[in-house]
Structure 1
Amino acid sequence: MKELFDFILRFGNLNPQQIDFIAGKSITLELKKDEYFSEAGKIARQVGFIVDGILRVCYYNNQGEEITKYFIEENNLVVDLESFNNEICSSAYVQAVTDCKMIVFQRKDWLELLQTIIGWDTIVNKITTRALMQKVERRSPLVSEDATTRYLKFLEIYPTVVNRIPLSYIASYLGVTQSSLSRIRKNIR
C-alpha cells in the first residue's frame, strides 16, 4: 500500500483520513502470468495499481495477429480508460506478462472516491495526463525508425522490462518478427 500512496502523493496532497478512506476502498489482486486484468468485448470495471509485475495492452488486427501496444510496469496505474469512463466494451486486452500483485479499486468505489475526496479528481487528472503523455512519447519515435533503432529506443524506454518478458511480445511491440529481433539483438551485443 505504501507504493500506491508514494505514487499518488507525487500528484497532490491527501490528509491521513483521506488516505485511510482510499485504502479502505481497495483490494489486493494477484494475477498469474497470462491472466487478463481486462478484456476486449467487455466493459472495464476496475482501476489497478501495479505493485509488482508487468502488464501489456494488446489487440488482434484484421488478420488475427496479436499486436502489443505497450507495457505497464510497477508503480503505475492501469485502466482501459475509455471503456471504464464511458462504460463501453473495450477493444483491447490488458494481460499479465509476469505474475502480478496489484491494488485494485472497483468502479463503484473509484467513483465514490471521486465524489467524496476533495481534489481527488485533480490528482487523477494529473496522473492520467502523465500516462497519456508517456504513451505518446514512447510510441512516436517507434513509428519512423528502422528496427534496430526501435529496439534500442525500447531498451531506453523500458530498461527494467526487457529481460522479464517473452521476446515475442517485444517483437510484436516493435512490429518485427521474432527472428528479426533475434538478429538485431545478436548484432548489438
Structure 2
Amino acid sequence: MEKLISYILQFRHLNSQQIQLVKENVSTLELAKDEYFSEAGKIPNKIGFVIEGILRVCYYDREGNEVTRYFVEENNFAVDINSFNNQIPSTEYVQAIIPTKLLVFSKSSMQNLSDTIIDWDNIIAKITNKSLIAKINRISPMLAEDAKTRYLEFYKRFPGLVNRIPLNYLASYIGITKNSLSRIRNELNK
C-alpha cells in the first residue's frame, strides 16, 4: 500500500485523511500466471497498480497472431484508460505473465475519490500523462531498428524484465519470432 501512496504523492500532497480515504477505496487482487486482469471485448471496470509481478498488454492482429504491445511492471498502473473512462469495450487484453499482485480501484471507488478529494482528477490526469509518455517511449524508439538492436535496447532499458518474461512474449514485443530471438541471444552470449 505504501508504494501506491508514495507514487500518488509524487503528483500532489495529500493530508492524512485523504491518504486514509485512498486506502479505504482500494482492494487487493492476486492473479495467477496467465490470468487476465481485463479482456478485449469487455468494458474495463477497474484500474490496477502493480505491487508484485508483471502484466502484459496484448491484442490479436488481423491474421489472428497474438501481439504484445508492452509490459507493466511493479509500481505502475494498468488500465485501458480510453475504454475505462468512456465505458466502451477494450481492444486489448491485460494478462499476468507471472503471479501478480495488484492494488485495485473500481470505477465506483474512483468516482468516490473524485467526489471527495478536491484535486483527485488533476492527480489522475498527471498520472495518465506520465503513463502515456512512458508507453510511447516503450514502443516508438524501437520501431525502426533491426531485431538485434531492438533486443539490446529492450535489455538496456528494462534489464529487470529480460529474465522474468517468457521468450515468446519478448519476441512478440520486439516484433520477431521466438527462434530469431533465441538466435540473437545465443549470438550475444558467445
Q: TM-score, normalised by structure 2?
A: 0.97
Percent identical among aligned pairs is: 53
Distance 1:183 1:70 in 2: 22
Distance 1:140 1:175 in 2: 12
Unaligned runs of 5+ in 2: none
Q: How does 1:90-129 map to 2 (within 5 A)?
A: 90-129=90-129
**Larger deviation: 113-122 or 30-39?**
113-122
Secondary structure in structure 2 of the residue aligned to 1:110: helix
Partner residue in 2 for 1:137: 137
Deviation at 1:3, TM superposition (A): 0.8
Distance 2:157 2:117 in 1: 34
Distance 2:122 2:159 in 1: 30
Amino acid at match of 1:104: V
Give CA deviations for 1:24-57 in whole Å, capped at 9, x if unaligned: 0111100001000000000000011100000000
Amino acid at match of 2:116: T
Give CA deviations for 1:97-143 in whole Å, capped at 9, x if unaligned: 11011110110111111121011111111111111111111111111
Partner residue in 1 for 2:77: 77
Secondary structure in structure 1 of the residue aligned to 2:89: coil
Unaligned runs of 5+ in 1: none
Amino acid at match of 1:7: Y
Partner residue in 2 for 1:174: 174
Distance 2:128 2:3 in 1: 18
Amino acid at match of 1:134: A
Q: How does 1:18-167 map to 2 (within 5 A)?
A: 18-167=18-167
Distance 2:73 2:151 in 1: 18
Distance 2:167 2:9 in 1: 35
**Larger deviation: 170-179 or 150-159?**
150-159
Equivalent residue pairs, number: 189
Q: TM-score, normalised by structure 1?
A: 0.98
